[in-house]
Structure 1
Amino acid sequence: MSRRYDARTTTFSPEGRLYQVEYAMEAISHAGTVIGILATDGVVIAAEKKVTSKLLEQDRSHEKIFPLSGNMVAGVAGMTADANSLVNYARNAAQKYLLEFNEDMPAEQLVRRLCDLKQGYTQYGGLRPFGVALIYAGYDTHHGFQLYHSDPSGNYSGWKATCAGANNGTATSLLKQEYKDGMTVDEALGLAARVLSKTLDTTAMDSDRLEFATLRLADGATDASAARIHLMTSAEIDKLLTAHELARREDS
């Protein structure tokens, strides 16, 4: 039945569904897991990398986590090529705002701008939805630290903890059980590592398959310009995994 209505993005089925959007969401469900966790003193984004090779320079090849501006960073699940296009659009929008107003773009405003573009690709013929979901971590002086999640339809919402990609049901269940209000960034990093160990179906992980990023403020600062994005190095990720007894042993 769906074949009669899935040839174009703009055609609704009798049930009111847009099948092309649902196909994009299905593509995301097979992508590497991305997790976002909101803490009192920052935001954590963790992701599973699908492209792994001993020839890669791990600390320079970021496949899943991208800074968008000085106060925002995003993790992506889905088609990386589509994500690159959206990331470039968001970076341009953020830089135009910075040039015009001499301050970083508020987090939700940038998310809304990007989601307007994504929604537009669901209502014009000859286009297809972006096959990628994004988890955004941001900070501004209006609302402090924020965490958002958007899908190919252009919908977005704010979260305390969220995930996208493969095994997102398992990850969501674990986050519901273990997330606590008042968590610090260090506690959120440990929770993200434990959840990823379940979604990867392994208790022995290494930095080759993972990416972590944190968004915090410089000590004592409250201005958005003091936000600091840190993409963790392989050594820092291995140290984190060892601290939580999740690291792969040398003899294994």
Structure 2
Amino acid sequence: MEVVGVATNVIAVVDISIKIASLCLQYAKDVKNAAADIERLKNEVTSLKGVTEAVQELLSNPNSAKLNKSHRLENDLSDSRLQLERLQLRLTPRTSRKAMRKIGLRALKWPFQSKEVDGLVETLRRHAETIDRTLQVEQTGIILHVDQTLLSIDQKTVLSRLLVATGASFDSGAEEHNPTCLRDTRVDLLRRIHDWALDPDARPIFWLNGMAGTGKSTISRTVAQSFAASVGRERTRHRATHQGCY
């Protein structure tokens, strides 16, 4: 199957739909015993054209770049285009009207049985519904992407306005003389924090909650120093391992 892109398929589907609708109008004038089938087929082609035009309208949106690259939508539209091309071929008279008049034929012959029209109507309806569902999914994805982008911008804006607490970062000079937990104190709580930090399924935040002066900062400094020491030991072991490989 030729890959031509969403926009190109949209143009083709709309163009062929218009031509098929025009052919149906010609048949409606000349074929009296298939008026209902002709009308049903024309209406379904027109519905497919309407859904496709909705895609065409969205493609003109500045945020449509992602939509135009949708492989799912491209496949749906490509399938519809191929179906319409086959339908147009069946509906196109092999003999021109001028030639028909010369040999005495006054009317076109409707090329489908009623059961065939039932199948065509169902297929065209399915194509329209598939494109509509895919379009909704892709639109939702685009909206979520835009929302996430805006949220990211808002977060960066808020963070850029926060005042910096000089000296409050871990291991800063201003913190070096502040107390940590004494040996063999807060053992249970420190173990709980250690277990939480190593648990991949744990919640992302461990909240130390308590009144001022109850030791939250002291515990936090103790935990931070413990983790820093663990990282330092791991780096030393890693370097020693690599040195032993040479």
The verdict on a shared fold, with TM-score over 0.5 as the criterion, is no
Q: TM-score, normalised by structure 2?
A: 0.21
Q: TM-score, normalised by structure 1?
A: 0.21
Structure with the greater alpha carbon radius of gyration: 2
